């Protein structure tokens, strides 16, 4: 298994399945509910066409990870997942054994489907568990209960070599003790990776309407910071330290795919509303596709792709993105790479100021990282460092 010491950023392939059985009230991802069955064969053919177009743009590459995200990819038939993975392997080089992750919702998994995904080449599952008590699952609008989540976890452990699951914390009224106990139980369920997200109020969600109407009382920033600190302490003590602001793993079990993003590697994004960032003609390109699934489908069938926008990044933009992504990591950023991207070093005076405030710290001679306190106010730290 590759370890965090292998710093090659890599080339990932992200495939976005944009459908969900219901829309969660906190979620602003590109996910859509359809009351008619989705024509998966037609969508799979469109994914293949868009992959072919991306291959023309990226040139021949060796893929380092594949991620089927959503939406709810576990609403796909195993044959659809197989068709998507085959299309990737037909267009780029896919070495044996690379990480292939599928996001699954506990309510949409069945044993047969899981076995089918495994046979299709999926070797890692990321389960959207979100909470380990029924009351909070109902509050979060989830379709599963704790018993179903536990069954899905067990099934995933039996079927896949690697398992991660997501929890959302800093829920209204959540005490430190309640969260510590829930987290402790989660770690005992023996996933090798956990994504632990603080609940955020996103634009355009039902929770935002409730929040604006004064009907949702969110934890204040001091309580949220306390919950964050507890999260770091409990996970570290139990052998799953944070390697990114919200992601925790046993050493060696970090998500290769997410590391591609945070280490500012390259990735292509395929499917409705997917983003990509890869080198084309020697420059880093951003691509993004049409979000509405049926419109994306029409575009792909007509033009061979659903890309509706993108740009070539300037050196400054690349350096800023590198900073934003890399400082989320516990390993921090390589200052020499920043200098190579930006064409100038990060201003020493600003590093020193942030260091004096206890928000960043050097790692060896060439790396810089956010301290645990800096992680809590990371947006401000990045803005300070990137300031002209």
Q: Considering CB distances under 5 to 8 angstroms, the limit depending on partner class, which of ligand SF4, ligand SAM, none binds residue 43?
A: none
Q: Coil, strand, or helix at residue 309?
A: strand
**Contact flag: residue 27 with ligand SAM (CB under 6 A):** yes
CA dist 55 and 386 (Å) reads: 33
With binding defined as CB under 6 A, does residue 200 bind ligand SAM?
yes
Is there a contact between 179 and 228 (Cβ–Cβ < 8 Å)? no
Residues between 100 and 129 that touch ligand SAM (CB under 6 A):
103, 105, 128
Nearest to ligand SF4 of 65, 105 (CB atom): 105
65 lies in the binding site for ligand SAM (CB under 6 A): no
- Piece of 21-29, 38-46, 53-61, 296-304 that binds ligand SAM (CB under 6 A): 21-29
User: Is 70 among the residues that bind ligand SAM (CB under 6 A)?
Assistant: yes
Contact partner at residue 23 from ligand SF4, ligand SAM, none, CB < 5 to 8 Å by partner kind: ligand SF4
Q: How far is CA 74 from CA 40, 70, 137, 269, in A?
A: 12, 9, 19, 18
Shortest distance in whole angstroms from residue 374 CB to ligand SF4: 28
For residues 33 and 38, what is the distance between their CA atoms, to the nearest angstrom? 10
- Residue 268 contacts residue 10 (beta carbons within 8 Å): no
Question: What number of CA atoms fall less than 13 Å from residue 78's CA on the CB side?
Answer: 14
- CA–CA gap between residue 343 and residue 55 (Å, rounded): 30
Stretch that binds ligand SAM, among 56-64, 193-201, 249-257, 341-349 (CB under 6 A): 193-201
Report what 255 binds from ligand SAM, ligand SF4, none; CB cut-off 5-8 Å by kind. none
Spatial distance between the Cα atoms of 99 and 168, rounded to a whole number of angstroms: 24
Work out whether 247 is an interface residue with ligand SAM (CB under 6 A).
Answer: no
Cα–Cα distance measured from residue 124 to residue 112, given in angstroms and rounded to the nearest whole number: 16
Q: Is 211 in the site for ligand SAM (CB under 6 A)?
A: no
Nearest to ligand SF4 of 143, 324 (CB atom) = 143
Residues between 126 and 145 that touch ligand SAM (CB under 6 A): 128, 130
Q: Residue 7 class from Cβ within 10 Å (0-12 exposed, 13-18 middle, 19+ buried)?
A: exposed
381 binding partner (options ligand SAM, ligand SF4, none; Cβ < 5 to 8 Å by kind): none
Contact with ligand SAM (CB under 6 A): which of 58, 72, 80, 101?
Answer: 72
The residues that bridge with 21 in the sheet, in sequence order, are none
Q: Are 150 and 188 in contact (CB under 8 A)?
A: no
CB of 258 to ligand SAM, least distance (A): 11
Among 13, 15, 24, 268, binds ligand SF4 (CB under 6 A): 24
Is residue 195 part of the contact set for ligand SF4 (CB under 6 A)? no
For 56, 248, 323, 342, 377, the CA distances from 359, given in Å and listed in that order, are 43, 21, 15, 22, 8
User: Are 310 and 287 contacting, i.e. CB atoms less than 8 angstroms apart?
Assistant: yes
User: Hunting for tokens 């292509």 — which residue is that?
Assistant: 268
What's the token pair of residue 317? 């933009």
DSSP reduced 3-state for 26: coil
What does 200 bind: ligand SF4, ligand SAM, none (CB cut-off 5 to 8 Å by kind)? ligand SAM
288 binds, among ligand SAM, ligand SF4, none (CB under 5 to 8 A by kind): none
The residue from 70, 273, 293, 306 that contacts ligand SF4 (CB under 6 A) is: 70
By C-beta, is 259 or 351 nearer to ligand SAM? Answer: 259
**Total residue length of the chain:** 388
**Residues 4, 326, 104, CA angle at the centre, nearest 5°?**
70
**For ligand SAM, the closer CB: 27 or 313:** 27
CA 238 to chain centre: 23
How far is Cα 343 from Cα 184, in angstroms, rounded to an integer? 46
> Based on CB atoms, which residue is closest to ligand SAM, 128 or 326?
128
Identify residues 101-120 at the interface with ligand SF4 (CB under 6 A). Answer: 105
Nearer to ligand SAM, 130 or 330 (CB): 130
Residues making contact with ligand SF4 (CB under 6 A): 20, 23-24, 27, 29, 31, 70-72, 105, 128
Residues making contact with ligand SAM (CB under 6 A): 26-27, 29, 70, 72, 103, 105, 128, 130, 166, 168, 197, 199-200, 202
């Amino acid at each position: 298994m590759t370890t965090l010491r292998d710093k090659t950023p890599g080339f990932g392939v992200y495939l976005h399945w944009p459908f969900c059985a219901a829309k969660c009230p906190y979620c602003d991802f590109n996910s859509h509910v359809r009351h008619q069955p989705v024509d998966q064969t037609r969508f799979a053919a469109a994914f293949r066409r868009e992959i072919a177009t991306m291959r023309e743009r990226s040139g021949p590459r060796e893929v380092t990870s594949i991620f089927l995200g959503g939406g709810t990819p576990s609403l796909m038939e195993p044959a659809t997942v197989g068709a998507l993975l085959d299309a990737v392997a037909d267009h780029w080089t896919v070495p044996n054994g690379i990480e292939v992750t599928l996001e699954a919702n506990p309510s949409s998994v069945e044993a047969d489907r899981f076995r089918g995904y495994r046979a299709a080449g999926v070797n890692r599952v990321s389960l959207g568990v979100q909470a380990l008590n029924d009351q909070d699952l109902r509050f979060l609008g989830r379709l599963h209960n704790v018993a179903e989540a536990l069954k899905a976890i067990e099934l995933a452990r039996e079927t896949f070599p690697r398992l991660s699951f997501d929890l959302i914390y800093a829920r209204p009224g959540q005490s430190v003790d309640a969260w510590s106990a829930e987290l402790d139980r989660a770690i005992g369920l023996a996933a090798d990776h956990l994504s632990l997200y603080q609940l955020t109020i996103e634009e355009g969600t039902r929770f935002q309407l409730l929040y604006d109407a004064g009907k949702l009382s969110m934890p204040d920033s001091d309580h949220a910071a306390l919950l964050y600190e507890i999260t770091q302490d409990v996970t570290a003590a139990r052998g799953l330290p944070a390697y990114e602001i919200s992601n925790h793993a046993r050493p060696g079990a970090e998500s290769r795919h997410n590391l591609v993003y945070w280490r500012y590697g390259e990735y292509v994004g395929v499917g409705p509303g997917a983003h990509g960032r890869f080198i084309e003609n020697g420059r880093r390109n951003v691509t993004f596709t049409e979000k509405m699934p049926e419109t994306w489908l029409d575009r792909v069938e007509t033009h061979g792709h659903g890309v509706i926008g993108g740009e070539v990044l300037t050196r400054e933009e690349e350096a800023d993105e590198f900073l934003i992504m890399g400082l989320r990591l516990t390993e921090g950023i390589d200052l020499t790479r920043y200098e190579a991207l930006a064409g100038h070093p990060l201003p020493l005076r600003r590093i020193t100021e942030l260091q004096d405030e206890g928000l960043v710290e050097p790692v060896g001679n060439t790396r810089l990282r956010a301290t645990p306190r800096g992680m809590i106010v990371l947006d401000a730290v990045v803005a300070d460092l990137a300031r002209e």
